[in-house]
Amino acid sequence: METALGIIIGIGLSAACGFRVFVPLLIMNLAALSGQLHLPENFSWIGSTYATMAFGSATVVEIIGYYVPGVDHLLDVIATPAAVVAGTLTTASMAVDLPPFLKWTLALIAGGGIAGLVQGSTVALRAKSSMATAGAGNPFFATFELAGAIFIAVLAIMVPVLCLICVAVFCFFIFRKIGRLIFGRRPSQAG
């Protein structure tokens, strides 16, 4: 049961990494320091004071960068592979008692995959916003993404099963949207 719960927490934190790369890592760090989250020994560095300083500094830079026109698009280019790495790391750190091959395979597919999916959808939304508003609407989306990262990361640690349900609903809507884009809307059958 502990392994399954850890995987659920890891997947939730990975989804949050898709919104912001460093916010979930900082929340994970603070939860480990406060005793709310227990990390395996080989990932205990995530709960260190040095990690708090590193994740805290990176979080501040990342948050500010998304409010600067032009820099937000550069960050999207950098954040997309970084989100996959962070998602893989968070899931691997929470998948305890699994053989290494299974742990890292699960972490890459589930953690990295969900982080990449969320990040990709936010990049697409930001691109639409930029085209529709000439970038004026991007700060609104930056705030939404930050709130999403905080909410999902905290939910993943406090109520992991509810977080997994939220992530599943999000994925359903994303896959549905992708399906409509690829296959188009089907005409209704009139009798």
- pLDDT at res. 189: 56
What's the pTM value of the predicted model, to 2 decimals? 0.88
The pLDDT profile of the chain, 191 residues, written as one tens digit per residue, is 688 999 999 999 999 999 999 999 999 999 999 999 999 999 999 999 999 999 999 999 999 999 988 888 888 889 999 999 999 999 999 998 899 999 999 999 999 999 999 999 888 888 888 888 887 888 898 999 999 999 999 999 999 999 999 999 988 888 888 778 777 765 555 54
> Six-digit token pair at 148?
């999403």
Rounded to whole angstroms, the Cα distance separating 104 from 89 reads: 9
